[in-house]
Structure 1
Amino acid sequence: MALQLMKLQVTASTTTNVDPESSKFFHVTGAETAAGTTLTIDAASFFLDDGTPATSLPPLATDNSYFTVTINGVLQMDGLSTYTPGATTVGSLAIAVPAGGDSILAGTPIVLEVVSFTPSASTTVET
């Protein structure tokens, strides 16, 4: 019998699922925030979709989550907001109001949306 290269015959398939979870937090400003200052909203100052008070802001998983801020129905640029996850007195959203621009008026609705993804994968190998 002649020499021959022996090799394995292998096939594999992977199924990947990415399940997003969105949390929305609502706030209505109580006072005007002037241009050139920062509006900081504590976790307890937000309320949830059902109107109940929020008690904490969820963590942001590296490369698997993001947050957006909407002020008076307008999506804001990323660089204006600083998000800190956590419970009351720790968790907060800070919005830097640019100098030379408009202030945020009292009674303005602010919506914080946090989106997190939970990826999962399964691989089947057949030989």
Structure 2
Amino acid sequence: MPLKIMKLAITGTTSVSVDPTVERFFNEVAAQVVGAGTITIPVEDFWTDTGADATTLPALATDNSYFNVYINGVLQMESLSTYTPGGTGTGQLVITVPLGSTVEANSPVVLVVTNYAPDATTDIVT
């Protein structure tokens, strides 16, 4: 008999699901901010999708989350925002307004927090 490579007869299938949880928070800037300056929005100054007052900003899942900040409907650069999750008195969003930039009073600020809960299942048949 000639030489041959022996290998296992195994098949496998993997199912992956990615389940995002998206939470949106809304605010209107109270007064004009001319850069260099900051806008600090505590959790209690945000509204939820239902119009209710926000009570907590969600934690960011390690390596499976992100947040976006929009001012007047325009996505802002990541380095301009600092997000701190938590409830009343701790959760907040701080936006840095660079020199030469202005955020007008009553401008809408939208914070979008996305967390993923990925799951994978592998079935091996021998």
TM-score, normalized by length of structure 2?
0.92
For 1:39 and 1:4, the matched residues in 2 are separated by: 71
The letter of the residue matching 2:87 is A
For 1:121 and 1:81, the matched residues in 2 are separated by: 33
Matches within 5 A, 1:34-113: 34-99=34-99, 101-113=100-112
Could you say if the C-alpha distance between residues 7 and 38 of structure 1 is closer, same or farther in structure 2, counting changes exceeding 3 Å? Answer: same
Secondary structure of residue in 2 paired with 1:90: coil
RMSD across aligned C-alpha pairs, in angstroms?
Answer: 1.8
Mapped pair 1:126 → 2:120: no
> Per-residue deviation at 1:117?
1.0
Secondary structure of residue in 1 paired with 2:49: coil
Look up the match of 1:31: 31
Secondary structure of residue in 2 paired with 1:123: strand
For 1:10 and 1:114, the matched residues in 2 are separated by: 41
> Per-residue deviation at 1:7?
4.6
Could you say if the C-alpha distance between residues 8 and 28 of structure 1 is closer, same or farther in structure 2, counting changes exceeding 3 Å? Answer: same
For 2:101 and 2:119, the matched residues in 1 are separated by: 44
The letter of the residue matching 1:14 is T
For 1:30 and 1:38, the matched residues in 2 are separated by: 12
The letter of the residue matching 2:48 is L
Q: Structure 2, unaligned stretches of length 5 or more? A: none
Secondary structure of residue in 2 paired with 1:30: coil
TM-score, normalized by length of structure 1?
0.91
For 1:86 and 1:104, the matched residues in 2 are separated by: 25
Look up the match of 2:11: 11
Q: Give the count of matched residue pairs.
A: 126
Q: Structure 1, unaligned stretches of length 5 or more? A: none
Secondary structure of residue in 2 paired with 1:40: strand
> Per-residue deviation at 1:86?
0.6
